[in-house]
C-alpha cells in the first residue's frame, strides 16, 4: 500500500522534473542570447553557452547543474543502490518539483579583487573568491540582500577583509530565511567588534530590505576556515529566526544546524517518522538532533523523547523549541552522541526507537555498539552521505540489526549529494 503510494509520488515528481528542465532550457536559451548574466565576473562566451551559470565550473558548488534533472535523479538512485547493495531494497528517489533556488541559507565571502570589493564563494580548495551575484541554488531574496550590502560598502567606507594583509572589516555575510514564516536573518561577520557607523548601516539596510527580521554582528578575528566566530551581538530584532516544518515551529540561531532545503526536508522527516511506526508509548532517542526537529515532530506520537547534540547553541534552541510548541515529553542533552549512548547502555536504560541523523562523517562504532546493547526494536538512520551510511550499516549488521528499506530524497539538486532514510530492525523482533 505504502509502497504504491510512494511509487506514484516518485513518478509524478519525475514527470514534473522533466517539465522543470524544459523551463531551465528556456532560461538557458535566453541567457545565451545575452539578456542575462548572473555574475559580476566576465566570462567567456563559450562558458555561457555551456552552463546555466557562468561561474559553475569555477565555483564548484553545483557539479550537476547542466545535467538534466531527471538524469541527476537517476544517477543518485544508482549511486545509493550501488552502495547499499546487499543491505536492503532502495526505493525510488523523491526529487523536487522545482529544483532551483531551494537553499534557505546563503553564505558569501567578502574580499577584494583588483581593488574592488567582491562577494561570492571560495574557489574549491582555495581562498580565491569567485564573484557571484545570483546563484541557481540559493534563495533569490538572500542573494539580493547580499548584493545590497556589497553596494552599500563604499558609501559607508567599510573595507572588506583582505586575507593577505589581514586588513578590512567585513569578512562574510550569512543570510538565513524561514521559507514558511518569511523571517530573515542577516549575519555580518566582522574582524573587529568596532564597526564605524554601525547603527546607520543597519538602518539603511533595513530601509532597503524591510523584510529582514534580525541582524547580527558576529566577530571572527581568527585565521580559520570557519565562517562564524564565537562572539556575537544582536544589532536588530530577536537574534534568531523561526521556521515551520511538519506542523512544528523551530527557532534557528546563527550557528545551529538547520536543513538547507525545507521543502524536501518535510518529506524526508515525514518518511523517517513513518518508518519508526510509533504508537504513542515508545521511549525514543533523537541522536545528533540539532535544534530538535525530528524529535519534536515525533514527540506527539511517542511516550517520551531524548535528544542529544554536541552543539550547545542548537541544544538551547531545542529546549526553546519544546516550549514554543508546548511539547513536554522531550529532554535535551548536550553531549557527544556516542558517549551519551554508551552511558545509557551502561545504566541499563530501556529504549524502543533510535533516530540518528549524523553529519557527513557518519556515526561511530561506539555509538552503534551502544545501540546494540540498548536493543531498541527499530533504528531510523537519516544520512546525508551514502558512503558512511553503508559503512555504518555493516556495523549495525554485526550488532544484530538488519536494514529493511532505504528511501533516498534529493535535498541537494544539482550537487552530487543525496539524503537517505533507512529503517533498520533488530533481527529477533
Ligand atoms: N537532526 C538535525 C541535525 C542533523 S545535522 C536536523 O535534521 O536538523 C547533524 C548534527 O549532528 C549537527 O547538529 C551537529 O552539531 C551534530 N553533531 C556532530 N557531531 C556530533 C556528535 N559527535 N555528537 C552529537 N552531535 C553531533
CA–centroid distance, 258 to ligand 1, in Å, is 10
Residue 243 and residue 307: Cα distance in Å, rounded?
19
For atom 5 of ligand 1, which residue has the closest CA? 359
Q: Catalytic annotation on 384?
A: yes
Q: What is the mean pLDDT of residues 307-333?
A: 96
DSSP readout, 3-14? HHHHHHHHHHHH
Question: Three-class SS of residue 2?
Answer: helix
Residues within a 6 A CB radius of ligand 1: 257-259, 288-290, 293-294, 308-311, 314, 336-337, 357-359
Lowest mean pLDDT among 111-120, 343-352, 371-380, 387-396: 111-120
For ligand 1, atom 1, the nearest C-alpha belongs to 289
Q: What is the pTM of this model?
A: 0.86
Instruction: Look at residue 50 in the predicted model and tell me its pLDDT.
Output: 63
Which of 406, 398, 409 minimizes the C-alpha distance to 424? 406
Count other C-beta atoms under 10 Å from residue 384's C-beta.
18
Ligand 1 centroid–CA 88 distance in Å is 25
DSSP category for residue 239 = S
Distances (CA, A) of 276 to 211, 279, 351: 38, 9, 13
State the Cα–Cα distance between residues 273 and 297, nearest whole angstrom: 8
DSSP state of 182: -
Mean predicted confidence (pLDDT) in 302-323: 96
Atom of ligand 1 nearest to the CA of 311: 15
Mean pLDDT of the chain: 89
Question: What pLDDT does residue 416 have?
Answer: 95
Q: Rounded to the nearest whole angstrom, what is the distance from the C-alpha of residue 292 to the centroid of ligand 1?
A: 10
pLDDT at 64 over 70: yes
Q: Inform me whether the pLDDT recorded for 234 exceeds 50.
A: yes
Which residue of 105, 250, 309, 339 sits with most ligand 1 atoms within 8 Å of its CB, as the best mutation to test the pocket? Answer: 309
Of all protein residues, the one whose alpha carbon is nearest to atom 20 of ligand 1 is: 310
In this structure, what C-alpha cell is assigned to residue 373? 546493547
- What separation in Å is there between the alpha carbon of 336 and the centre of ligand 1? 9
Q: What pLDDT band is residue 275 in, cutting at 50, 70 and 90?
A: very high
- The residue nearest atom 6 of ligand 1, judged by CA position, is 290
pLDDT of residue 136 exceeding 50, the answer is yes
Return the C-alpha cell found at 219. 566577530
| CA–CA dist 243, 322 (Å, integer) | 14
Cα(90)–Cα(389) distance, integer angstroms = 13
Output DSSP code: residue 85.
T
SS3 301: coil
146-156 confidence digits (pLDDT tens): 999 999 999 99
Residue closest via CA to ligand 1's atom 22 equals: 336
Cell of 275: 518508518
**Average pLDDT of the segment spanning 297-320:** 96
376 C-alpha to ligand 1 centroid (Å) = 20
Beta carbons of 352 and 378 less than 8 angstroms apart? yes
Q: Tell me which long-range contacts 224-229 makes (C-beta under 8 A, separation of at least 24).
A: 227/107, 227/172, 227/174, 227/189, 228/172, 228/174, 228/187, 228/189, 228/254, 228/255, 229/189
The pLDDT tens digits of the residues spanning 51-62 come to: 889 898 888 889
> With bands split at pLDDT 50, 70 and 90, how would you rate the model's confidence at 32?
very low
Amino acid at each position: 500500500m505504502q509502497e504504491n503510494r510512494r511509487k506514484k509520488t516518485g513518478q509524478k515528481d519525475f514527470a514534473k522534473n522533466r517539465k522543470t528542465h524544459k523551463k531551465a532550457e528556456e532560461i538557458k536559451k535566453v541567457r545565451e542570447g545575452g539578456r542575462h548574466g548572473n555574475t559580476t565576473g566576465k566570462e567567456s562566451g563559450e562558458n555561457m553557452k555551456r552552463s546555466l551559470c557562468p561561474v559553475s565550473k569555477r565555483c564548484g558548488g553545483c557539479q550537476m547543474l547542466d545535467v538534466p534533472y531527471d538524469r541527476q535523479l537517476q544517477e543518485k538512485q544508482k549511486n545509493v543502490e550501488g552502495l547499499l547493495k546487499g543491505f536492503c531494497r532502495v526505493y525510488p528517489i523523491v526529487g523536487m518539483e522545482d529544483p532551483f533556488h531551494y537553499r534557505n541559507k546563503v553564505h558569501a565571502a567578502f574580499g577584494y579583487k583588483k581593488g574592488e570589493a567582491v562577494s561570492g564563494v571560495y574557489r574549491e580548495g582555495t581562498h580565491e573568491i569567485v564573484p557571484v551575484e545570483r546563484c541557481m541554488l540559493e534563495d533569490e531574496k538572500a542573494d539580493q540582500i547580499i548584493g545590497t550590502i556589497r553596494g552599500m560598502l563604499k558609501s559607508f567606507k567599510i573595507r572588506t577583509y583582505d586575507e593577505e594583509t589581514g586588513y578590512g572589516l567585513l569578512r562574510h555575510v550569512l543570510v538565513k530565511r524561514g521559507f514558511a514564516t518569511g523571517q530573515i536573518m542577516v549575519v555580518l561577520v566582522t574582524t573587529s567588534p568596532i564597526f564605524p557607523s554601525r547603527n546607520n548601516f543597519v538602518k539603511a539596510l533595513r530601509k532597503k530590505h524591510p523584510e529582514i527580521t534580525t541582524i547580527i554582528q558576529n566577530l571572527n578575528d581568527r585565521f580559520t576556515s570557519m565562517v562564524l566566530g564565537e562572539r556575537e551581538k544582536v544589532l536588530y530584532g530577536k537574534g534568531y529566526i523561526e521556521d515551520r516544518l511538519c506542523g512544528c515551529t523551530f527557532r534557528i540561531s546563527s550557528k545551529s544546524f538547520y536543513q538547507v532545503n525545507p521543502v524536501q526536508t518535510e518529506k524526508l522527516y515525514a518518511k523517517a517518522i513513518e518508518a519508526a511506526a510509533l504508537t504513542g508509548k515508545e521511549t525514543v532517542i533523537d541522536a545528533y538532533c540539532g535544534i530538535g526537529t525530528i524529535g519534536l515532530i515525533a514527540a506527539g506520537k511517542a511516550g517520551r523523547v531524548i535528544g542529544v547534540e554536541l552543539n550547545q547553541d542548537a541544544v538551547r534552541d531545542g529546549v526553546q523549541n519544546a516550549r514554543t510548541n508546548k511539547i513536554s515529553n522531550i529532554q535535551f542533552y548536550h553531549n557527544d552522541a556516542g558517549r551519551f549512548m554508551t552511558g545509557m547502555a551502561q545504566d541499563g536504560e530501556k529504549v524502543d526507537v533510535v533516530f540518528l541523523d549524523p553529519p557527513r562523517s557518519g556515526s561511530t562504532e561506539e555509538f552503534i555498539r551502544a545501540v546494540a546493547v540498548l536493543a531498541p526494536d527499530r533504528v531510523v538512520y537519516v544520512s546525508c552521505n551514502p558512503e558512511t551510511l553503508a559503512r555504518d550499516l555493516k556495523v549495525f549488521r554485526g550488532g544484530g540489526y538488519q536494514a529493511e528499506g532505504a528511501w533516498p530524497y534529493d535535498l541537494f539538486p544539482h550537487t552530487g549529494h543525496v539524503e537517505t532514510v533507512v529503517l533498520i530492525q533488530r533481527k529477533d523482533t
